[in-house]
C-alpha cells in the first residue's frame, strides 16, 4: 500500500507554496487539510472542478416542472373547480409553488451531492490517528501526498526552505 | 457599509492567532460549569415553555373560544404572532447569505446565531396558523397527498402557498445552517476532552477532515445555497403578505403589501439579531470578536429599513386616499381616529421615530443605544402586525359587523410562551453548539494578515 505522507505548516500561505511545488514535481495523490477554506488550494493542487451546481439546477428544474404538472393535473383534470368563472388552468398562481418546490429540491440535491462527492459521512479514517492531525481543524495546515514514488525523505527535500513543522508518514 | 469599506478593522483583536480564535469560541462550550445565570435563565424560559404547552393543550381541548377572536376580528393574536415570528425568521438566513455574497467581513461573527434564530423563529411561526385552525388535527389537508376523499388542495389560495413557503424555508434554512456547522463540529470533536463530547460532535461532523476537496465542494454548495436563499426569503414574506392582500378587505388589498412586508421582516429581523448579538456577546464573553463595529453597521441597516417602513406607510395612506373608495377612506379615518389610534401612533413612534437616533454616529457606536432601539422597534413591529389585523377586520365593508378586539388572558400567555420557548431553545443552542462560526473567523484573520 502506498505510504500516506503529511507535512505540517503553520500558515496557509506556505501550504499553498508547498502544494504548488508538489504539483509541479508531477506527484499524484495530493491533498491538503486546513481548518478553514483556502480557495487557492483548488488551483495549487489541480483539483477537478466541483460539478455540483448543474446537479442542483437539474433537480430544481425537475421539481418545478413536476409541481406544475401536479397543479395542472389536479386543477384541470382530476378536480376541476369553477371559481367565479376563472380559467381552470390558472397557471400564474401555480408558479409560486413551482418556485418553492424548485428551491427546496435544488437545496436537497446539493446537500446529498455534497456528501456523495466528498465521501462523507466516514467516521473512521487513517488520518485521524496521525499525530497532531487534530489540529488540522484548529490552527495547523497539512499537505498530504500519496504517491508510490515519494517517501518522507523526498517530500522533506521538496519542501526545503518552506520550513514545515514536521514531515511524517501516517501509519495505515 | 462602513466608511472603512470592506476592511477587517475593528472586527478582531489586534494580536491573535488561528488557535486563539478557535479557543475563544470553543472553550466556552467545553466548560463544565456554566454558572447560575444560565441555569436561572433556562429555568425561567422552561417554565414559560411549559406554560405555552399548557395553553396549547387547553386550546385543543376547548377550541378557539379561549382567545379574544370574535366574529368580525377572526384573525386576532395567532396570525399577528405568526407574521411577527416569520418576519424575525426571515432575517437570519437572509443576513447570512446576503453578507456572504457581498463579501462583508463583519458577517463572520454573527451569521451562525442569526441562522439559528431563523430556524427557531420559523418553527415557532409555523405553529401559529395550526393553532389558529380551530381543527388543528386536519392541518395536513394542506398537503397534496393521495386520499380516499378524492380532494386536492386549492392551488390558487395564498394560504396553500404560505404552507409550502414555510416548509421549504424551514428545511432550506436547516440545510444551510447544518452545512456551515459541519467544519465547526470537526473542530469541537478534536478539542473535546470527554468521550461523550468526542462521540457526539464526531457524529455531527460526519468525519470531516478539512480536505481541500471537502472545502471545494462545501464552498460550491454553500454559495449556491446562498444565491437561492435571497429570492426564497423574499418569496416567503411576500407570500405571507399575500395572505392579506389577496383578499378584498379595505387596508389589505394593496400591491404594496409584499415589498412592505419584506422590508418589515428585515427590519424586525435585524432588530432581533441586534438583541441576540448583545446577549451572545455578554453571555459567552465574545467581546473580542463581536465589537461595536458590528452594532454600528447593523444600526445603519435598521435605519435604512425604518425609512423603507416610512415609505410603505405613506404609500398605504396615499393609496387609501387616492382610490376614493368608501371602505378605504373609512379605513384611513379609523387609523387616525379610531379605537386603536393610540396604539397606531405608538407603532409609528417605535418604527419611524426611535430609529432616527441612529443618524448620530456616537449613538450607533453605543451598544446600549442600538439594543434599546432594536427592542423598541420589535415592539413596534408586533404592534404593526396586530394593527394590520385589527384595523381592517374591526371596520370591514359592513358597518353592522364592526367590533373591537379585546385580547383574552390566553392571547397574552401564548405570546409570552412563544418568546420563552424561543429563548429556551436559543439557550440550549448557545450551550451546546458554537455560537460563532470558527472557520469563518479563521478566514477573516487570514484576510487581515494578507491586508497588512
Using one digit for the tens of pLDDT, what is the confidence trace for B384-400?
999 999 988 888 888 88
pLDDT tens, residue order, chain B (452 aa): 344 445 677 777 777 888 888 888 888 788 777 788 889 999 999 999 999 999 999 999 998 888 888 888 888 889 999 999 999 988 888 888 888 888 888 888 888 889 999 999 999 998 999 999 888 888 888 888 888 888 888 888 888 999 999 999 999 999 999 999 999 999 999 888 888 888 999 899 998 988 988 999 999 999 999 999 999 999 998 998 988 888 888 888 888 889 999 999 999 999 999 999 998 888 888 888 888 888 888 999 999 999 999 999 999 889 888 887 888 888 888 888 888 999 999 999 999 999 999 999 888 888 899 999 999 999 999 999 999 999 888 888 888 888 888 889 999 999 999 999 999 999 999 888 898 888 888 888 888 888 77
Contact A77/B at CB under 8 A: no
Q: Residue B384 corresponds to which cell in the numbers above?
A: 404593526
Residue-wise pLDDT tens digits, A47-70: 888 889 999 999 999 999 999 999
A1: confidence class by pLDDT, cuts 50, 70, 90: low
* B155 to A71: CB separation less than 8 angstroms, yes or no: yes
**Chain A contact set for B228 (CB, 8 A):** 103, 106-107
Contact A108/B at CB under 8 A: yes
Question: Contact at 8 Å (CB) between B10 and B292?
Answer: yes
Which residue stretches of A8-151 are H helix?
A: 12-24, 40-45, 53-72, 91-118
Nearest chain A CA: its distance from B100 CA (Å): 14
Question: Contact at 8 Å (CB) between B399 and B77?
Answer: no
**Chain A contact set for B258 (CB, 8 A):** none
Which single residue is written with the C-alpha cell 430556524?
A: B119
| Cα–Cα dist B243/B249, whole Å | 11
DSSP label at residue A167: E
Q: What is the pTM of this model?
A: 0.89
Residue-wise pLDDT tens digits, A99-112: 999 999 999 999 99
**Chain A contact set for B111 (CB, 8 A):** none
Query: What average pLDDT does chain A have?
Result: 87
Burial of B57 (C-beta count, 10 Å sphere; 0-12/13-18/19+): exposed
DSSP label at residue B211: B
Pairing of strands A166-170, A30-33: unpaired
| Cα–Cα dist B116/B177, whole Å | 7
Interface test with B, best of A4, A6, A37 (most B CBs within 10 A): A37
* A50 to B217: CB separation less than 8 angstroms, yes or no: yes
Q: Residue B106 corresponds to which cell in the numbers above?
A: 463583519
* B186 to A137: CB separation less than 8 angstroms, yes or no: yes
| Cα–Cα dist A69/A94, whole Å | 10
Give the phi and the psi of residue B281 in degrees, each rounded to 5: -60, -45
Angle (CA) B180-B182-B183 rounded to 5° is 90
Question: Contact at 8 Å (CB) between A78 and A71?
Answer: no
Nearest chain A CA: its distance from B181 CA (Å): 12
| Cα–Cα dist B452/B446, whole Å | 10
| Cα–Cα dist B391/A137, whole Å | 55
Question: Would you tell me which residues 160-179 of chain B have a C-beta closer than 8 angstroms to some C-beta of chain A?
Answer: 160-161, 164-165, 167-168, 171-172, 175-176, 179
Residue of A33, A106, A117 lying closest to B209 (CB–CB): A33
Q: Could you tell me which chain A residue has the CA closest to the CA of B202?
A: A123
Question: Contact at 8 Å (CB) between B6 and B103?
Answer: yes
Count, residues in chain B:
452
| Cα–Cα dist B97/B227, whole Å | 7
Residue of B161, B172, B446 lying closest to A12 (CB–CB): B446
DSSP label at residue A29: S
Question: Would you tell me which residues 206-235 of chain B have a C-beta closer than 8 angstroms to some C-beta of chain A?
Answer: 206-221, 224-225, 228, 231-232, 235
Nearest chain A CA: its distance from B314 CA (Å): 28
* A123 to B206: CB separation less than 8 angstroms, yes or no: yes
Stated as kind and residue range, the H or E segment containing A31 is: strand A30-33
Contact A89/B at CB under 8 A: no
**ipTM summary value:** 0.91
Which residue stretches of B102-157 are H helix?
A: 111-131
CA dihedral for B234, B239, B242, B244, sign (positive or negative): negative
Ramachandran assignment for B70, one of left (phi > 0), alpha (psi -120 to 50 degrees), beta (any other): beta
| Cα–Cα dist A33/B398, whole Å | 69
Count H helices, E strands: chain A?
Answer: 5, 4
3 state SS of B420:
helix
Question: Contact at 8 Å (CB) between B370 and B298?
Answer: yes
Question: Contact at 8 Å (CB) between A121 and B174?
Answer: no
* A139 to B232: CB separation less than 8 angstroms, yes or no: no
3 state SS of B178:
helix
Q: Residue B439 corresponds to which cell in the numbers above?
A: 472557520
Burial of B383 (C-beta count, 10 Å sphere; 0-12/13-18/19+): buried
Question: Contact at 8 Å (CB) between B288 and B11?
Answer: no
Question: Would you tell me which residues 56-95 of chain B have a C-beta closer than 8 angstroms to some C-beta of chain A?
Answer: none
Which residues, in sequence order, are CB contacts of B324 under 8 Å at separation 6+?
A: none
Q: Residue B404 corresponds to which cell in the numbers above?
A: 373591537
Nearest chain B CA: its distance from A171 CA (Å): 17
Query: Using only C-alpha atoms, what is the Rg of chain A?
Result: 25
Nearest chain B CA: its distance from A160 CA (Å): 23
CATH of range B20-142+153-451; options 1.20.1630.10, 3.40.50.720, 1.10.760.10, 3.40.50.300? 1.20.1630.10
| Cα–Cα dist A15/A141, whole Å | 7
Q: What is the pLDDT of residue A67?
A: 94
Contact A171/B at CB under 8 A: no
Which of B425, B366, B443, B431 is closest to B116 using CA atoms? B425
Nearest chain B CA: its distance from A148 CA (Å): 20
Question: Contact at 8 Å (CB) between A135 and A127?
Answer: no
| Cα–Cα dist B5/B223, whole Å | 22
Q: What is the pLDDT of residue A111?
A: 94
Sheet holding A166-170, edge to edge: A30-33, A141-145, A4-9, A166-170
* B190 to A134: CB separation less than 8 angstroms, yes or no: yes
What are the domain boundaries of chain B? Answer: 20-142+153-451
Which residues, in sequence order, are CB contacts of A171 under 8 Å at separation 6+?
A: A126, A129, A130
* B206 to A120: CB separation less than 8 angstroms, yes or no: yes
Contact B155/A at CB under 8 A: yes
What are the domain boundaries of chain A? Answer: 4-49+126-170, 53-118
Amino acid at each position: 500500500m502506498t505510504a500516506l505522507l503529511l507535512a505540517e505548516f503553520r500558515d496557509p500561505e506556505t501550504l499553498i507554496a508547498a502544494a504548488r511545488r508538489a504539483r509541479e514535481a508531477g506527484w499524484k495523490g495530493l491533498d491538503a487539510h486546513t481548518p478553514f477554506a483556502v480557495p487557492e488550494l483548488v488551483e495549487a493542487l489541480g483539483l477537478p472542478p466541483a460539478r455540483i451546481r448543474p446537479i442542483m439546477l437539474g433537480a430544481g428544474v425537475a421539481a418545478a416542472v413536476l409541481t406544475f404538472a401536479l397543479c395542472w393535473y389536479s386543477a384541470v383534470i382530476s378536480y376541476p373547480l369553477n371559481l367565479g368563472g376563472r380559467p381552470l388552468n390558472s397557471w400564474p398562481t401555480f408558479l409560486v409553488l413551482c418556485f418553492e418546490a424548485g428551491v427546496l429540491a435544488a437545496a436537497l440535491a446539493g446537500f446529498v451531492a455534497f456528501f456523495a462527492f466528498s465521501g462523507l459521512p466516514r467516521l473512521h479514517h487513517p488520518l485521524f490517528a496521525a499525530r497532531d492531525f487534530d489540529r488540522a481543524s484548529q490552527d495547523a495546515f497539512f499537505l498530504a501526498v500519496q504517491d508510490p514514488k515519494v517517501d518522507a525523505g523526498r517530500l522533506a527535500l521538496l519542501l526545503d526552505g518552506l520550513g514545515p513543522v514536521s514531515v511524517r508518514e501516517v501509519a495505515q | 457599509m462602513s466608511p472603512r469599506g470592506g476592511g477587517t478593522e475593528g472586527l478582531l483583536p489586534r494580536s491573535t492567532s488561528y488557535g486563539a480564535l478557535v479557543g475563544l469560541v470553543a472553550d466556552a462550550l467545553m466548560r463544565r460549569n456554566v454558572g447560575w445565570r444560565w441555569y436561572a435563565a433556562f429555568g425561567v424560559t422552561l417554565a414559560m415553555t411549559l406554560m405555552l404547552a399548557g395553553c396549547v393543550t387547553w386550546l385543543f381541548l376547548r377550541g378557539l373560544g379561549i382567545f379574544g377572536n370574535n366574529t368580525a376580528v377572526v384573525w386576532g393574536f395567532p396570525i399577528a404572532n405568526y407574521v411577527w415570528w416569520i418576519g424575525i425568521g426571515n432575517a437570519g438566513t437572509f443576513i447570512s447569505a446576503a453578507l456572504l455574497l457581498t463579501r462583508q467581513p463583519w458577517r463572520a461573527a454573527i451569521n451562525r446565531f442569526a441562522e439559528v434564530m431563523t430556524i427557531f423563529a420559523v418553527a415557532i411561526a409555523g405553529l401559529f396558523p395550526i393553532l389558529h385552525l380551530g381543527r388543528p388535527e386536519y392541518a395536513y389537508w394542506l398537503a397534496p397527498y393521495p386520499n380516499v376523499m378524492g380532494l386536492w388542495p386549492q392551488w390558487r389560495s395564498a394560504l396553500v402557498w404560505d404552507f409550502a413557503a414555510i416548509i421549504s424555508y424551514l428545511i432550506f434554512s436547516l440545510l444551510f445552517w447544518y452545512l456551515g456547522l459541519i467544519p465547526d463540529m470537526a473542530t469541537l470533536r478534536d478539542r473535546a476532552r470527554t468521550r461523550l463530547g468526542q462521540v457526539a460532535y464526531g457524529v455531527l461532523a460526519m468525519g470531516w477532515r478539512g480536505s481541500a476537496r471537502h472545502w471545494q465542494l462545501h464552498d460550491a454548495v454553500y454559495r449556491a445555497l446562498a444565491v437561492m436563499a435571497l429570492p426564497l426569503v423574499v418569496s416567503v414574506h411576500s407570500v405571507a403578505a399575500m395572505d392579506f392582500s389577496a383578499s378584498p378587505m379595505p387596508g389589505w388589498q394593496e400591491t404594496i403589501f409584499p415589498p412592505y412586508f419584506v422590508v418589515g421582516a428585515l427590519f424586525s429581523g435585524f432588530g432581533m439579531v441586534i438583541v441576540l448579538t448583545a446577549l451572545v456577546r455578554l453571555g459567552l464573553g465574545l467581546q473580542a470578536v463581536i465589537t461595536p463595529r458590528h452594532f454600528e453597521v447593523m444600526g445603519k441597516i435598521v435605519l435604512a429599513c425604518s425609512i423603507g417602513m416610512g415609505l410603505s406607510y405613506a404609500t398605504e395612506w396615499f393609496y387609501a386616499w387616492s382610490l376614493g373608495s368608501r371602505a378605504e377612506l373609512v379605513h384611513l379615518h379609523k387609523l387616525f381616529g379610531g379605537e386603536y389610534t393610540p396604539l397606531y401612533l405608538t407603532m409609528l413612534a417605535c418604527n419611524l421615530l426611535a430609529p432616527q437616533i441612529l443618524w448620530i454616529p456616537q449613538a450607533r457606536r453605543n451598544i446600549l443605544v442600538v439594543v434599546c432601539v432594536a427592542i423598541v422597534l420589535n415592539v413596534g413591529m408586533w404592534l404593526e402586525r396586530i394593527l394590520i389585523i385589527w384595523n381592517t377586520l374591526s371596520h370591514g365593508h359592513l358597518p353592522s359587523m364592526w367590533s373591537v378586539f379585546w385580547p383574552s388572558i390566553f392571547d397574552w400567555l401564548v405570546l409570552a410562551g412563544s418568546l420563552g420557548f424561543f429563548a429556551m431553545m436559543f439557550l440550549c443552542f448557545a450551550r451546546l453548539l458554537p455560537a460563532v462560526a470558527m472557520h469563518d473567523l479563521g478566514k477573516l484573520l487570514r484576510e487581515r494578515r494578507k491586508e497588512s
